[in-house]
Structure 1
Amino acid sequence: MLRFLFSPNGRVSRADYWLRWLIPSALAPIVVSAVDAALGARYLTPVWVLVSFWPNIAITAKRYHDRGMSGWWTLWSVLITLVPLFLVYSGTEALITGAVVSAWLSTWIGLYGAFWAIFAFTLIVYFLPGERCANRFGPDPRKPKPPRKPKIDPAVEFPGPWTQLTRTGLPEPDTPAHTRRRPPRSR
């Protein structure tokens, strides 16, 4: 679980992203706010924001990896979202000081840019499937790992009078000794 939360290496499928990160991190602020309100304090919400910042970056980078994109797109998505929001903030400041035309223009450009930036990155990360094969970031997270090859126990594989059949965990043979399989002869 710690590797899932803190390592930006590897890939994460859409299902893992939704079930193991997005839904819990969407519910956590509700719980944190309720606890803050119950305690009459306001310090848990900033703590949650700081604690969840790096896991959000790391897991989103893995989601980009699943799409075959570099994890640096995570930082670009943050910056491209913050720039339009800065324009909205500066437009609001200009509205307060009285520069109405440039303020409305700046605000609308910022809102429009923020909407499309957030829409594009949300579409990529939340909804588009990853590559169906291994890529440079790792194997496909949707495919189960191949099972380990079981170790062959000669007493089970080739039972006979030369093996001890009464070992714990092994059933007693039902067939006579002459019908059991014999090990291959060396040539």
Structure 2
Amino acid sequence: MDWVWFLFAFDGRINRAKAWLALLVILCWMIFIAGILLFIDGMFGNPVKSVHFNLNDVFAFVDPAVLHVAIARLREGKEASPAHLVVTFFHTAGTLLFAWVYLATSVKRLHDRNRSGWWVVPFFVAPGLYAQFADRLPDSTLMFPLALTIFALMIWGFVEIYCLKGTRWTNQFGPNPLPKEQTRPRSSRSSSAGWDQTSSIELVPHSAGSPANMHVKRGA
């Protein structure tokens, strides 16, 4: 399997098993990078309390409030130590990497469902933005329909990407990734259901020269 295409490209199709495999790869990478961060931070004598990764952290990069706080802390020197800078760098790079892999594999899974990759906007981007800015939305009952819609989109996206089968035939995004199901299903007719007349009837010439007689074979 071409792992570069599988993890980073946005074209083509993958089946459900590979979508789950991508999540496993992301989880393993998270554990590996978290171990590196703890090791590096420990070398500087300032072990971090905890290391966590969340795909939704990518939306912090578009949150002006988060960026403002981060810049202010850097100016005050609170996070200007080598340990903090290394941890911040790896955390940022890891979050962007995980988000890229998740989006690339999700788009290919949507292609397998014969859907446009832009469906990641309601399935992933909208819930992520809502989670990032939910505490700053008005505290009103009018927000309940929005929250319910976001929750429904999350469930729909999960089912669509990780639970439902892809199209069995070649669609606009490429052939079926499962080689045994490449064409549209055809109606099958059992040969035993019909009567094969050619195998049940034969012409037997008469030895005395009279016209040929038709005999029915029993037990073709």
Q: TM-score, normalised by structure 1?
A: 0.62
Shift of the alpha carbon at 1:123? 0.8
Structure 1 segments, 4+ long, off by >3 Å, are: 104-114
Shift of the alpha carbon at 1:33? 1.8
Q: Taking structure 1 as reference, are residues 106 and 58 closer, same or farther at Cα in structure 2, changes over 3 Å only?
A: same
The residue number in structure 2 matching 1:57 is: 103
The residue number in structure 2 matching 1:8 is: 10
Q: Taking structure 1 as reference, are residues 135 and 24 closer, same or farther at Cα in structure 2, changes over 3 Å only?
A: same
Q: Taking structure 1 as reference, are residues 3 and 87 closer, same or farther at Cα in structure 2, changes over 3 Å only?
A: closer
Question: 2:92, 2:142 → 1: CA distance?
Answer: 29
Q: Of residues 135, 139, 159 in structure 1, which corresponds to 2:175?
A: 139
CA deviations on 1:68-116 (whole Å, 9 max, x unpaired) are: 101111233233213532552214xxxxxxxxxx516367555433322
Question: Which segment drifts farther, 49-58 or 134-143?
Answer: 49-58
The residue number in structure 1 matching 2:135 is: 89
Which one scores higher on RCO, CA 8 angstroms, separation ≥ 6?
A: 2
Structure 1 residues without counterparts, runs of 5 or longer: 92-101, 147-187
Question: 2:142, 2:25 → 1: CA distance?
Answer: 35
Q: Taking structure 1 as reference, are residues 139 and 62 closer, same or farther at Cα in structure 2, changes over 3 Å only?
A: same
Question: 1:86, 1:108 → 2: CA distance?
Answer: 16
2:109 touches 2:161 (CA, 8 Å); kept in 1?
A: yes
Q: Of residues 141, 148, 155 in structure 2, which corresponds to 1:112?
A: 148
Larger radius of gyration: 2
Question: 2:94, 2:133 → 1: CA distance?
Answer: 27
Q: Taking structure 1 as reference, are residues 10 and 109 closer, same or farther at Cα in structure 2, changes over 3 Å only?
A: same
Q: TM-score, normalised by structure 2?
A: 0.53
2:168 touches 2:181 (CA, 8 Å); kept in 1?
A: no
The residue number in structure 1 matching 2:91 is: 45
Question: 1:84, 1:113 → 2: CA distance?
Answer: 11
Q: Taking structure 1 as reference, are residues 83 and 46 closer, same or farther at Cα in structure 2, changes over 3 Å only?
A: closer
Structure 2 residues without counterparts, runs of 5 or longer: 42-82, 183-220
Question: 1:29, 1:46 → 2: CA distance?
Answer: 12
* Secondary structure of 1:105 counterpart: coil
* Secondary structure of 2:139 counterpart: helix
Letter in 2 for 1:6: F
Q: Does 1:80 align with 2:126?
A: yes
Q: Does 1:18 align with 2:20?
A: yes
Over aligned residues, Cα RMSD in angstroms? 2.6
* Secondary structure of 1:103 counterpart: coil
Q: Of residues 98, 105, 114 in structure 2, which corresponds to 1:68?
A: 114
